[in-house]
Amino acid sequence: MTLPNDAIPADAPWWGTDAHRRFLLTDAARQFEFFGRSLDPSGGFHAQDYAGRPIPDAPRELHATTRMVHSFALGHLMGVKGADDMVDHGMKAIWNLHRDPDHGGYLWSFAPGGGVADGTKLAYGHAFVLLAVASAKQAGHPDADRLLADIREVIEARFWDHARGRMSEEYARDWQQISTYRGMNANMHMSEALLAAYEATGEDVFLHRALGIFDFFIGQVGAAHGWRLPEHYTEDWQIDAGYEGNPMFRPKGTTPGHSFELARLLLQAWDLGGRLDTKLPEWAGQLYSRALADGWDKARGGIIYTVDLAGQPLRTNRYWWPVTEAIGAGAALLKAGGNAAREQEYRRFWQDGSRLFIDHVKGGWFPEIDDQNRPDALQFAGKPDIYHAIQADLLPLLPGLSHAAREMPLLKS
């Protein structure tokens, strides 16, 4: 079954209705089917083109492998056929192909069939190892505890700055420092992984570390900059407003999509902490409102990629993932007591996500669109992994703001 692009009503009730649930579960089923074909018997997962064909010779990057494990762990809990095989295959790839047996830690990428493609050790990738392992543990994978112990040791010894309560960034394969760069993105994803680890283990240290990351980037930096979040920092954590690196992972400026993502994570942390820390939902609302004002492209739809510290557009490219994160934040705010205006915004995110990005025929989301709203391929080859878009489908269906893996809806319910 597929739904037409205009299946989301313009004004009739939708949030929380059977039609809303069916729409989300239908897209989730299409995604699991599309990405379920990516398993490569020689190791890891194929990158896939728009039609679902393997992209020859594409390296297997750590964030893609781990996010597949996380996503299919959720699929396993939903009863998705074959999801347990995907999780098991991915966990083996993390341990046998990404893990560095000589120096410890996890390699950024391996070549199809095995062999190191890029031995860099990145905080960003290691955060996703923790996320994958935490989700696999909640899904009952038998090897989760071994990987959890290993990734904890690596983070403690190599990445976690115990004095500042944040992550350092990047090293060579043998752990020689290769730059003094510090970034928000890796720390944001570490906070996500820490919350998942707290849910999986119940150990308070994980929640406390996530809260410390939020205190710095949002309570200190964001509050002092109009609730915009600078992405790049020097080694002593001073804002580096002129920095520009990889156009996907380290673009210049601030990224509204990350503010949406952090708004959702703040509400998850608030919920996990017993809803006692009232500043967390306040910060979430501020981040969400600023990101919506800065990022939403009213003329074309979608969310632009980056703005400067004054809110002026820098990169007006429109990718799929900021829309999925706006959906997640909007759903979290609705669960936390949002009003009719928030429901309209949530609906609008889905209307444009469906119109611009969802492949209603083959499954998955197109990662980028051009000025005429057609699928484009300037930044990405094929459809990236399932992680962002499957969470947009699943998180709104959860009854609460946390305990995600333990409360997955059944796909066919």
Active-site positions? 258, 388
Residue-wise DSSP of 30-61: HHHHHHHTTB-TTSSB--B-TTSPBPTT--EE
Which residues, including other chains, have CB under 8 Å from residue 330's CB and lie 6 or more apart? 288, 338, 342, 345, 346, 349
Q: Quote the CA–CA distance of 134 and 67 in Å, as a whole number.
A: 12
The torsion angles phi and psi of 264, rounded to 5 degrees, stand at -65, -45
Which residues, including other chains, have CB under 8 Å from residue 174's CB and lie 6 or more apart? 103
Pick from 328, 347, 358: nearest CA to 12: 347
Pick from 92, 95, 100: nearest CA to 118: 100
User: Which whole-number Å values give the CA distances from 131 to 138, 176, 200, in the listed order?
Assistant: 11, 25, 10
The torsion angles phi and psi of 145, rounded to 5 degrees, stand at -65, -40
Pick from 386, 358, 387: nearest CA to 373: 358
Q: Quote the CA–CA distance of 167 and 156 in Å, as a whole number.
A: 10
Residue-wise DSSP of 352-396: HIIIIIB-TTT-SB-SEE-TTS-B--SS-SSB--SHHHHHHHHGG
Q: Quote the CA–CA distance of 380 and 388 in Å, as a whole number.
A: 15
Classify residue 311 by its DSSP letter: S
Residue-wise DSSP of 161-184: ETTTTEE--EE-TTS-B----EEH
